[in-house]
Amino acid sequence: MSVSTGFKDDLLGAIPSLRAFAVSLSQNADKADDLVQETLVKAWDKQTSFQPGTNLKAWLFTILRNEFYSQMRKRGREVQDSDGIMTGRLAIHPSQHGLLDLEDFRAALELLPEDQREAIILIGASGFSYEEAAEICDCAVGTIKSRVSRARARLQEILKISGESEFGPDAIATQVMG
């Protein structure tokens, strides 16, 4: 029983991250909370299959992600493939002072295909390693790497940022004005 209580506390602690990941995936707050709820119920039912000492957050993200894709399939929605979106016609122009607005960024993120969006979120925001992200997404590490790099390139394209990292911090400093 005390094992369950510890598990419950761990689940409680993971909820903020799960919600952030769910919103990132579904781009919809209500759907995201439904996803989190499903994830918690599933995780609770499967708790004996969780190996203590392994990464609970990664385990939960895997469940949530599977739930997301299975709900999408149920709704009959085709999973977007990486080449299915034309970003060229939808460019977002940064506000005049050159600073990238968070709203602009959010809109740009929404234009990414799901597989790229989840990859860049897992690596760039959730703090997972490429190996962990590959396990969560059930694909090869190389696939995650290429999705991240395509996501980044596409975001730069949409947001009209030139290849900043190639020029190092000095070039960036000139962009970060304000």
Partner 1 sequence: MSGQIYRMTKNQHEAPGAGQRRDGSDLLGANTEIGRKLKQYYDELVSDDVPERFAQLLSQLEETAAQQGGRAAAEEKD
Residues that bind partner 1 (CB under 8 A): 1, 4-5, 8, 11-12, 15-17, 19-20, 23-24, 33, 36-37, 40-41, 44, 98, 100, 102, 105-106, 109, 120-121, 123-130, 148-149, 152, 155-156, 159, 161, 164-165, 168-170, 172-177
Shorter beta-carbon distance to partner 1: residue 124 or 142 = 124
Burial 39-65 (b: 16+ CB within 10 A, else e): bbeebeeebeebeeeebbbbbbbbbbb
What is the nearest approach in angstroms of partner 1 to the Cβ of residue 76?
28
Least Å from the CB of residue 123 to partner 1? 4
Annotate 127-159 with DSSP letters as a single string: ---HHHHHHHTTS-HHHHHHHHHHHHHHHHHHH
Rounded CA gap, 168 and 29, in Å? 36
- Which residue, 52 or 127, has its beta carbon nearer to partner 1? 127
Query: Are 55 and 62 within 8 A, CB to CB?
Result: no
* Nearest distance in Å: CB 146, partner 1: 12
Nearer to partner 1, 70 or 162 (CB): 162
**What is the rounded distance in angstroms from the CA atom of residue 10 to the CA atom of residue 44?**
11
**Cβ proximity to partner 1, 16 vs 73, nearer residue:** 16
Contact of 161 with 172, CB cutoff 8 Å: no
Q: Which is nearer to partner 1, 73 or 163 (CB)?
A: 163
**Rounded Cα distance, 67 and 78, in Å:** 15
How near is the Cβ of 136 to partner 1 at its closest, in Å?
13
Tokens 């993120």 locate to 109
Task: Tell the smallest beta-carbon distance from residue 111 to partner 1 (Å).
Answer: 14
Cβ neighbors of 172 (< 8 A, separation 6 or more) are 164
What is the closest distance, in whole angstroms, from the C-beta atom of residue 66 to partner 1 in the complex? 19
Comparing CB distances to partner 1, the nearer of 80 and 175 is 175
